[in-house]
Structure 1
Amino acid sequence: MPNYQAVLFDFFGTLTSSVQRGAAHLDTAELLGCPSETLSEVLNRTYYERASGRRGDAATTMRWVCAQAGVHPTDRALQAAVVSRHRAIRADTRLRADAVPVLAALRERGVRTGVISDCTHELPDFLPQLPVAPLLDVRVFSVQVGRCKPDAALYLTACRRLGLAPDACLYVGDGGSQELTGAEQAGMTAVRLAAPDLADHMVFNADRQWRGPTLGTLGEVLDLVATDTEVLGVGGRAG
């Protein structure tokens, strides 16, 4: 069994259940005076532009999105929409039931953990309030790094912060943004989470040609990571 020193996770669709834009996003569109279908189309089309942080902070990015949608809200409406969007994305975020137990079990085995996520400005703001936060050694966000998956910069940033070589790390993701291919190209081992709920997951640039190993549940990650006693060759797997 490989002696991985760290397991790095995608966030949306991996540590969380499948994500779709919920009803709270309608409030954002209303505040902007924009049809919800138009706002969704612009958000989908500009995802990587926004997730790379190239359009500035949250408010500046929202102003740019409005221009793409052909609407021109007041400054007050824009600020309210930024708050509304933060609230809506937080409402869309539901941690998997096994996320905290899996992260805790990895750390008990002496394995370090982290998140590498393509995301806009909201996730870095609210992730510290989630119960997974104290169980993550590193958090790498595309909007802060200025690159999106599968760019090697994201994976190598995590390795640098951990002080580990890529081949010491296992990467787990649902396959969005060509993330599994990117992880392997950066020198990591990658596995795909193929939980049943992900059939309805909102995903961009899926890794459809990737044919590597898959997991049915997040908890199966523990079967891929050696315990300290296994590394020493003096015992069996911890239950």
Structure 2
Amino acid sequence: MPTYQAVLFDFFGTLTRGVQRSAAHQTTADLLGCPADTLAAVLDRTFYQRASGEHGNAEATLRWVCVQAGVHPSDTAVRAAVAARHRAVRADTRLRRDAVSALAGLRRLGLRTGVISDCTHELPAFLPQLAVAPLLDVRIFSVQLGRCKPDAALYLTAAQRLDVRPEDCLYVGDGGSRELTGAQRAGMTAVRLTAPDLAGHLVFDAEEGWDGPVVESLSEVVELVDALPATC
């Protein structure tokens, strides 16, 4: 592998443990007057539309979801459901035990760090309150950029904001949204995280047949980078 100036991470399932929708999402469904399984099915099939911000802000997007689900809640109910969904997504988000230490370790080695996430409106709102936030030099959110992985725009925007070349970046992800292939096509080196908890992870358009490098923990990423020869 080459040496690097930056390491970029996927968020859900990479900096966090595997994600599953918890019982907390029932509140959102109840507020909307929608069966929970119906709401989950609509959320699943519309993920990329929602994650690219096609339907406006969080409230406008949830109103559109309601139309797809065939329910027509009041304005008050929709606003309450937006808040409930925010709390539920936040509750489902559990940072990996070594997320903070890995990011800090990479920064001690002189590397810049960042996150590139396919996400809806909730993550940009609560990420600043997470322990990893001060350790991320750049944050690229699909819902803000209007593109989803594996679109090269996300990777190239991250590199541009870090003022580094794509080929000087290492990208680490669990493989959702064919993100590893996307990183490679953008000129980056990609590594797949294969932590055991990802077996039940909620993932869309997973990378198939990955034959590139893998790690089982974020700590291994620091070890991998630290073992590389120093640049001149």
Q: TM-score range by the shorter chain?
A: over 0.9
- Who is 1:190 aligned against? 190
- Who is 2:78 aligned against? 78
- Who is 1:221 aligned against? 221
Which amino acid in the other structure matches residue 53 of structure 1?
Answer: G
* Cα separation, 1, equivalents of 2:192 and 2:221: 10
* Cα separation, 2, equivalents of 1:226 and 1:100: 17
For the Cα contact (< 8 Å) 1:2–1:226, is it kept in 2? no
- Who is 1:131 aligned against? 131
Q: Secondary structure at the match of 1:191?
A: strand
Shift of 1:170: 0.0
* Cα separation, 1, equivalents of 2:227 and 2:210: 28
Tell me if 1:2 matches 2:17. no
Per the normalisation by structure 1, the TM-score is 0.95
Q: Residues 22 and 56 (structure 1 numbering): CA distance in 2 closer, same or farther, change over 3 Å?
A: same
Q: C-alpha deviations, 1:65-110, integer Å up to 9, x for none?
A: 0000000000000000000000000000000000000000100110
Which amino acid in the other structure matches residue 118 of structure 1?
Answer: D
Q: Residues 204 and 232 (structure 1 numbering): CA distance in 2 closer, same or farther, change over 3 Å?
A: closer
Bigger mean CA deviation after superposition, 192-201 or 210-219: 210-219
User: Number of paired residues?
Assistant: 232
Q: Residues 135 and 209 (structure 1 numbering): CA distance in 2 closer, same or farther, change over 3 Å?
A: same
Shift of 1:211: 1.4
Runs (4+) of structure 1 moved beyond 4 Å?
Answer: none
Q: C-alpha deviations, 1:210-238, integer Å up to 9, x for none?
A: 2111111111001221479x4168xxxxx
Which amino acid in the other structure matches residue 197 of structure 1?
Answer: D
Tell me if 1:60 matches 2:60. yes
Which amino acid in the other structure matches residue 160 of structure 1?
Answer: Q
**TM-align CA RMSD:** 1.2
5+ residue gaps, structure 2? none
- Who is 1:236 aligned against? none
Q: Secondary structure at the match of 1:155?
A: helix
Which amino acid in the other structure matches residue 150 of structure 2?
Answer: P
Shift of 1:111: 0.4
Q: Secondary structure at the match of 1:104?
A: helix
Bigger mean CA deviation after superposition, 204-213 or 58-67: 204-213
* Cα separation, 2, equivalents of 1:146 and 1:210: 26
Which amino acid in the other structure matches residue 224 of structure 1?
Answer: L
Per the normalisation by structure 2, the TM-score is 0.98
* Cα separation, 2, equivalents of 1:116 and 1:217: 18
Which amino acid in the other structure matches residue 109 of structure 1?
Answer: L
* Cα separation, 2, equivalents of 1:232 and 1:61: 47
Q: C-alpha deviations, 1:4-24, integer Å up to 9, x for none?
A: 100000000000000000011
- Who is 1:32 aligned against? 32
- Who is 1:169 aligned against? 169
* Cα separation, 2, equivalents of 1:42 and 1:3: 43
Which amino acid in the other structure matches residue 145 of structure 2?
Answer: V
* Cα separation, 2, equivalents of 1:206 and 1:94: 21
Q: Secondary structure at the match of 1:190?
A: strand
